[in-house]
Structure 1
Amino acid sequence: MSDTGAATASPSLTVLVVDDDYRVASVHVGFVEAVPGFRVAGQAHTAADALRLAGELRPDLVLMDIYLPDGDGLQVVRQLLAEPAAPAVIVISAANDVATVRQAVQLGALHYLVKPFGFAQLAERLTAFRRAYDDLNGFPAEATQHDIDRIFDLLRPGTPAQADALRRLAPTLQSVYDAIAASDGSLSANDVASAIGISRTTAQRALTQLEQSDVLTLELRYGATGRPEHRYGVKRR
């Protein structure tokens, strides 16, 4: 069975996003849902909710923050990976000290991403995980050393499939950036969608990626009532 055929035939892998910051969690949700072959099954903002939702949803993958208001995310990872049908885990955290990274590796985390990160960094790792997951499901009862080596190679980010996906996304990002750059000030997702003829969801996804990549600035404009409007401008160097 080829990798391409497996990925095409397989259903989307489910992801649980865990982050104490609601806005950051929503950004990560947008990133995940922009990668073919994945869908977000739920969000958690505390350690207790992460454990509860993982038990209820049985996700294929958990994106796990470390600093949670009611506990240590790595302790959640320890509990999740001790389960018989454990999900894969990618740690996402601002912590970059060696002790924390070492503990995540020892617990069995698949990858470790230091926040803030852009869409491309997460997409590379998700795509690598998808390819390895599909390949592993096609194994016979016993794998050869060659099979095992191939799985670990596939888990490394930067596969050809991801490069193709990013190339397809690039024109939209450029169009969104150009629309912002051509404006006199800042634009909202609705403004961008109208200006270049794409959906508001696609515009918001691209704007979020560009802001996370440190290309655009985000301004929250408060009105008389309701949620603040998110407006984006070109970051001046």
Structure 2
Amino acid sequence: MNVLILDDDYRVAMIHEAYVKRYIPHATCEVFYQVEAFLHHVQRSERTYDLLLLDLFLPHTHGFHMIQQLRETHPETDIIVITAANDQASILEAKRWGVLDYMTKPVSEERLKESFQWFVEWKAKVKHKQQWTQSFIDEIFHFNVQSTREAASLPKGIQEETLAIILKNIEMQKIPQTASEVAASVDLSRSTGRRYLEYLVEEERLAVDLDYQSIGRPRRVYVMREQKEQKGK
């Protein structure tokens, strides 16, 4: 997952970068303190960016101008605003620009963690969702970290961060894996790994197949649902 950070306070930017790497699995960060350097980079980069962490108070310009510039070259990038601006106009303007989350400085680690973990879960859900029901559409158009997390509460013993790691691992392997193989790769017991995998199957984010190539009984293997569907075409 590729993340951009734009904040003219390098100390704040470094703190946010550390939290991104801690709570967003396999994240790569590109940090900018100067508006000119940021614009020069995004206007020429062909890389896809998943997320921008943006301050609104920037030298000689405003964060909303940065959003406008980013939308022209990277419209797929989601944005989380982290700023000292807590006035009504700024908050409503951010909502009009489609900002996913808005946090006022100083932000607690717990609040950042919650936002980042929701973002990872939301991205995975959007990517692998097969049926776009009204309830799922409501999640997208009525984004709120706390209410969404409560509405989509996980079963006991299932953690969002672990789900994201398992999905990323299977996606990177690109071949079906058994519960034992997945558990070993993410440092879980086989029974715990199977519990997570079966939950992901129920959520239609993974599919199950049978491997008849091994000696003896066929193995139950797990694969990204979209990979299995593409293979079946």
Same-fold call, TM cutoff 0.5? yes
**Distance of 1:100 and 1:150 partners within structure 2:** 23
Deviations 1:23-47 (A, max 9, x none): 1111111111110425232001122
Match of 1:87 in 2: 77
**Distance of 2:76 and 2:140 partners within structure 1:** 18
**Distance of 2:78 and 2:39 partners within structure 1:** 14
- For residues 73-222 of structure 1, what are the structure 2 equivalents within 5 Å? 73-83=63-73, 85-140=75-130, 143-151=132-140, 156-157=145-146, 159=149
Q: TM-score, normalised by structure 1?
A: 0.56
Name which of structure 1's ranges 39-48 and 143-152 shifts more when overlaid on structure 2: 143-152
| 1:147 to partner: Cα distance | 2.8
Question: Are 1:29 and 2:17 matched, yes or no?
Answer: yes
Q: Is the 8 A contact 1:93 1:113 kept in 2?
A: yes
Select the residue among 51, 56, 76 that pairs with 2:39. 51
Shift >4 Å, 4+ stretches:
150-155, 163-166
| SS of residue in 2 equivalent to 1:143 | coil
**Cα pair distance change 1:79/1:29, threshold 3 Å:** same
| 1:152 to partner: Cα distance | 5.3
Match of 2:180 in 1: none
Match of 1:16 in 2: 4
**Distance of 1:28 and 1:45 partners within structure 2:** 13
**Distance of 2:115 and 2:80 partners within structure 1:** 9
**Cα pair distance change 1:41/1:15, threshold 3 Å:** same
**Cα pair distance change 1:155/1:138, threshold 3 Å:** farther
Task: Kindly report the root-mean-square deviation, in angstroms, between the aligned alpha carbons of the 2 structures.
Answer: 2.7
Letter aligned with residue 20 of structure 2 = V
Question: Are 1:69 and 2:59 matched, yes or no?
Answer: yes
Letter aligned with residue 108 of structure 1 = G
**Cα pair distance change 1:153/1:135, threshold 3 Å:** farther
Letter aligned with residue 147 of structure 1 = F
| SS of residue in 2 equivalent to 1:130 | helix
Q: Is the 8 A contact 2:49 2:74 kept in 1?
A: no
**Cα pair distance change 1:98/1:77, threshold 3 Å:** same
**Distance of 2:103 and 2:57 partners within structure 1:** 14
| SS of residue in 1 equivalent to 2:145 | coil
Match of 1:39 in 2: 27
Q: Is the 8 A contact 2:7 2:58 kept in 1?
A: yes
**Distance of 1:62 and 1:157 partners within structure 2:** 20
**Distance of 2:109 and 2:134 partners within structure 1:** 33
The percent identity for this pair of structures is 29
| SS of residue in 2 equivalent to 1:34 | helix
**Distance of 2:64 and 2:142 partners within structure 1:** 25
**Distance of 1:143 and 1:52 partners within structure 2:** 37
Q: TM-score, normalised by structure 2?
A: 0.57
| 1:65 to partner: Cα distance | 0.7
The gaps in structure 1 that reach 5 residues or longer are 1-12, 167-237
Letter aligned with residue 92 of structure 2 = R
The gaps in structure 2 that reach 5 residues or longer are 162-233
Match of 2:229 in 1: none
